[in-house]
Structure 1
Amino acid sequence: MATTEIATNYIPRKQLAKELGTRLRGRPYSEFTLIAWEKDGKGPPATRIGRDVVYRASSVEKWLLSQESAA
């Protein structure tokens, strides 16, 4: 019987904050940064499952591309 990995393309908020911060500024972002961005409508699209918040990897990538500005 084949097993299906559910939610393999989703990143938990804590992990995304750490990864984004480390890659973009050399130190992790706080989870509160992503919470503030979500409230302000500035961050990547989030999916809420009960109390947990996750981000689809492809949506985060699209959001990062949308943050680019022309020189």
Structure 2
Amino acid sequence: MKDMQNDPVEEVPDLLADWISREQLARALDLTTDTLSRWEARRQGPPCTRIGRKIFYRRAAIQEWIRAQEQAHPVRKTRGRP
């Protein structure tokens, strides 16, 4: 019989430590996952990675993307005639 206490426990690396899911990003930005999907289709949002059916965003890439959205004097979009 094998003694379980003498076996070293394998440490599983957290491969997704620097990544967040689409759902997590949507909650953090107060958006819907549909908005993030639309941005992905239009290549407007932060870069993402697809693993199977799941979408993940690298935290550093999100921060870079947010910095790139920064404007000194934000311009409000208007509809209709000026």
Q: TM-score range by the shorter chain?
A: 0.7 to 0.9
- SS for the counterpart of 2:57 is strand
Computed over aligned residues only, the root mean square deviation of the Cα atoms, in angstroms, reads 1.2
State how far apart, in whole Å, the 1-side matches of 2:20 and 2:52 are: 15
Long gaps (5+) in structure 2 = 1-9, 74-82
The structure with more radius of gyration: 2
Aligned length: 64
With normalisation by structure 1, the TM-score equals: 0.82
Which runs of structure 2 are paired with 1:44-55 in the superposition (5 Å)? 44-55=46-57
Long gaps (5+) in structure 1 = 22-28
More helix by share: 1
Higher relative contact order (CA 8 A, sep 6+): 1
